[in-house]
Amino acid sequence: MIGYDQPGTWTNLYNILWQSIVPMPEGRQPIPASDVARACNFYKAKTLKYGLPLESLKDSTNTPWMHWMSAICPQDQFEELTNALWTSLNSTTSRVPFTDYYDSNTSNSIMFRDRPIVGGLAAKLLVVRCHLRGELASATRCPREGEY
């Protein structure tokens, strides 16, 4: 079982991406901003050959969720996870369309194939766009309404 009170357990805090884009009042963020860099470093240490597992209980990973989380990490960590995905896609023996759920140790597809959820791979583009506009975690919503 995974739980905050269970030593040695952890999970990928993939929704941390939205906290960095959608402004929240100071002190109301689910993950304190000071913990984001610590989370990135923690996940770097947990990354396996073909990606970051979803949790400590299994080696399965989800490509969009992995990229949602890595999009707010330093560029080198984002590239490390992107390279792990690239290596997985080029090494897998699973002959199926792009899978978003696979084993991060073997690169074998577990289930879910060719789904629109892989749009999550573009999360870094949203973060870069907001950062360039100076709106990342600011009082201005990014993207602005009507600009979808």
- pLDDT, residue 133, reads 64
The Cα 20–Cα 124 span in angstroms is 12
Burial class (CB in 10 A: 0-12, 13-18, 19+), 72: buried
- What burial letters (b/e) apply to 111-121, b meaning 16+ CB within 10 Å? ebeeeeebebb
- pLDDT, residue 17, reads 82
* Coil vs helix vs strand at 61: strand
- pLDDT, residue 105, reads 94
The Cα 20–Cα 24 span in angstroms is 9
The Cα 121–Cα 100 span in angstroms is 10
Measuring CA to CA, how many Å separate 80 from each of 68, 74, 126, 148? 14, 10, 19, 29
- pLDDT, residue 34, reads 74
Tokens of 92: 């897998």
| pLDDT tens over the chain, length 148 residues | 666 678 888 888 888 888 777 777 777 777 777 788 888 899 999 999 999 999 998 999 988 888 888 888 888 988 998 899 889 988 888 888 778 889 999 999 887 777 777 777 778 887 777 766 665 554 444 544 444 3
The Cα 28–Cα 10 span in angstroms is 22
- pLDDT, residue 147, reads 41
> Are 59 and 12 spatial neighbours (Cβ–Cβ below 8 Å)?
no
What's the pTM?
0.76
